[in-house]
Amino acid sequence: MLTVEKVKKSFDGFVAVNGVSFRVHQGEICSIIGPNGAGKTTLFNLITGHLPADEGKLTFKGMDITHLRPYQICRLGMGRSFQRTNIFPRLTVFQNIQAAVLAHRGKSFNFYQPVESFFQEETQVLLKMVGLQDYAETISGSLSYGFQKQLELGISLASEPELLLLDEPTAGMSAQETHHTIELIGRITREKGLTLLFTEHDMEVVFSISERIMVLHQGRLIAEGSPEEVRNNPDVKKVYLGEGR
């Protein structure tokens, strides 16, 4: 579904992503792990078009997306969440999700009908899916951190993506919130038959739901395989699992 070929990106001489190649197949749940500064978020930004790659090629569903803008890539069926929570803070929870539905259904260039008349049901369904149906009228910026992450997931799902990229979906969450969020992500992914690619620092989370794990270190992929293989890989043990845990 997604092919990343020899992608490279540097900032002012610092090589953040150095010739990374991998594939994500349809229906897979993959994760990318690596220490802070390994290049995970940069890699995501390259895939979603937020950053232009210096070298390499990106293909999504057989189409070359290397030079597309983010909104074009999104329209092809890729959804993403961001590491820093990325919602529309002064809008209500309902309006957040409704906006994404409007954009996805191509109704955003309507100038004359009241916005309230659009996609009430569709929005409610999504609210329910991410467990926020009781908070529809809450100003989203005032939600707890965990709920904001759930809302962001809802925004991503509104564009009915086939591939979902989640950047540290449980960053900054309490143990309970983490557990809850992972359950939610796992359930939605199965129900919708999504392909999932996520980064995560919490090892328990990674090993519990990933089918395949890729390890990024100093901008390079140093290992790839099933959770079991990665756990036992000596290189990984050396650079990652041994560090700070």
Partner 1 sequence: MSKENWFLIVIIMLLALLPLSESRFYIFLGTDILIMGLFAVSLNLLLGYTGLVSFGQAAYFGVGAYTCTLLMKKASIAFPLAFIGAAIFGAIIAFIIGFFCIRLTKIYFAMLTLAFSQIIWAIVFKWNSLTGGDNGIIGIPFPQHLDSPTRFYYFTLVIVVCSFYILRKAMDSPFGRMLTTIRENPERTEFIGINVKLFQLFAFMLSGFFAAIAGALFGIFNHSIFPDLLFWPQSAEVLIMAILGGMYSFFGPLVGAAVMLYLRMLVTSYTQYWPLIMGSILALLLFFFPGGIVGFLKSQRIFARGNR
Residues making contact with partner 1 (CB under 8 A): 48, 50, 69-71, 74-75, 79-80, 82, 86-91, 95, 98-100, 102-104, 107-115, 118, 155, 158-159
13 vs 116 by CB, closer to partner 1: 116
Could you tell me the smallest distance in angstroms from the CB atom of residue 92 to partner 1? 9
The burial of 160, by beta-carbon neighbours within 10 Å (0-12 exposed, 13-18 middle, 19 or more buried), is given as: middle
Angle of helix 145-158 versus helix 120-129 axis, rounded to 10 = 130
Could you tell me the smallest distance in angstroms from the CB atom of residue 114 to partner 1? 5
Could you tell me the smallest distance in angstroms from the CB atom of residue 6 to partner 1? 25
Write the DSSP assignment of 15-33 as a string of letters: EEEEEEEEEE-TT-EEEEE
12 vs 116 by CB, closer to partner 1: 116
140: DSSP letter: G
Backbone angles phi, psi at 73, to 5 degrees: -65, -40
Could you tell me the smallest distance in angstroms from the CB atom of residue 48 to partner 1? 7
Under a CB-based contact definition with an 8 Å cutoff, are residues 23 and 61 in contact?
Answer: no
99 vs 236 by CB, closer to partner 1: 99
Could you tell me the smallest distance in angstroms from the CB atom of residue 227 to partner 1? 29
95 vs 199 by CB, closer to partner 1: 95
**138/110 Cα distance (integer angstroms):** 26
**183/191 Cα distance (integer angstroms):** 12
185 vs 209 by CB, closer to partner 1: 185
Residue from 50, 64, 66, 70 nearest 7 by CA:
66
